[in-house]
Amino acid sequence: PSQFTSLIVWVLIGAAIVSGLLEDWIDTAAILAIVFFNGVLGFVQEFRAERSLAALRRMSVSMARVIRDGALQSSPARELVRGDLVALEAGDRIPADARLIYTTNFQAQEASLTGESTPVQKQAEWFEEAEVPLADQRNMVFMGTVAVSGKAHGLVVATGVGTELGRIAALIQKAAEAERAETPLQRRLEQFGSTLLWLALGVVAIVFVLGFLRGEPLGELFLIAVSLGVGGGREGLPAVGRVTWAVARMRMAKGHALIRKLPAVETLGSATVICTDKTGTLTKNEMTVTKLVVGSETFEVTGEGYEPVGEIKEHSSEARVLNTQSSDRSGHPSPSTQQSALPPGLRDLLTAAVLCNGATLQQEKGIWRIIGDPTEGALLVAAAKVGLTKAELEGQAPREREIPFDTERKMMTIVRRTEQGCKVYSKGAPDVLLKRCATHMTPEGRIEVLDAEHRRQINDANASLAQQALRVLGVAYRPLGRQVHADEEVECDLIFLGLLAMKDPL
């Protein structure tokens, strides 16, 4: 019904009725067709737009883990109240806004709320400032965001429409219910139509009076007056405006731009500057490894997103593909042949990237998704393209201890137990990691001294990749010959394996 409430549409319907009374069936059919076409098009476009906006509503969770009377229990999220103590861990969607009172290596992905793609490190700390920006509230978690690592307990401070996400939904609802201001073109059409209406009525009155004075039959005078009224009313003008808007909206829909109301096309046509979010809007927020550097050789990785399908090939004129040998029943390259085709240094680089990783790659209902940091997820996807999976590698090398990442150290380390003894796997900023390395591995698997020339080559490769707007990580490892306790002793004399460069696809 909302598609047939504007004055212009009622003018068109009135013109169609008058044309029908005059038995001008062609004009009647044409005008009604325009009204019907516009109504159907508007309904379809608004339905699609409303369905996209409904994604906000789907961000709510159905169940939450609550600590009540000292016991952990599951409770519907809608029954949470202020003061409840909720337990959170990696993979959980936050059920309400909560103040953290306990954390252990806890990170939350807040891209849906702040647009920031990098997970935020959360801590149960106290802020002295009275007003802290939303993105800097490190002791708070917010409904609709996701826990990506660690564990935490939070005291619920807001639920439902009282949350930050609820405020956004309320603003959208308020905007939808508010009366829409007319656009400049609508106001001009309204003014022009009113002027034409009064002029047409004046002409009709004069013609009717003059005809009556001449003794013309009243029936004939009525038909003439109505004809002049319809003709002078310019009923085609609003029709042209509606059709023009509708055609513009169809063209925009083909480019995946949703227009809720037809007049918004005119407003957009007047825009000179558009300010937009990047992550998850212009980009997918699905980090993807595109290049690997081992020694002096560079390898290219194809495929985008989290689906582990793609090729790894040498960056050379021959561009030899390394991971498409034989296939299994699903059509994907079989793991054994993929790994055997890899140079030893490249295989060790990808293996270390998986073992020094806190994320998880999994498939749900045919869709691949990452639980954890998108950057770490990109490393898992790149390794999975050659058959190196986290579950299999972790089964061979269980975790012994972890030195977590922080912004000051710019690196992280995981110690794992293997049949050959404990091994250290580290990743982080290449310049920071290089300072802790004494040797490096070649693509053929040889370990050589990391002299000044090799350090310069690695730094040059890092700078070149960064200039291509790629995020670059360095990876290293080290066998432990004895039990070591101090972190400083673990993260030293490392063997530099290579660089991984990634992007967030458009």
Phi, psi of 155 (to 5 degrees): -95, 120
What's the CA gap between 136 and 319, in Å, rounded? 46
> What are the DSSP calls for 181-203, one per residue?
PPPHHHHHHHHHHHHHHHHHHHH
**504: Cα within 13 Å, side-chain hemisphere:** 16
Is 277 a catalytic site residue?
yes
Classify burial at 24, counting beta carbons within 10 Å of its beta carbon; exposed 0-12, middle 13-18, buried 19 or more: middle
Element (H, E) at 237: helix 236-254
Length of the chain: 506
Phi, psi of 502 (to 5 degrees): -140, 165
Catalytic one among 136, 277, 328, 451?
277
Classify burial at 327, counting beta carbons within 10 Å of its beta carbon; exposed 0-12, middle 13-18, buried 19 or more: exposed
The angle subtended at Cα 400 by Cα 396 and Cα 402, nearest 5°, is 120
- Cβ(192)–Cβ(200) below 8 Å: no
Burial 231-260 (b: 16+ CB within 10 A, else e): ebbbbeebbebbeebbebbeebbeeeebbb
Residue whose token pair is 């309204």: 190
Active site residues: 277
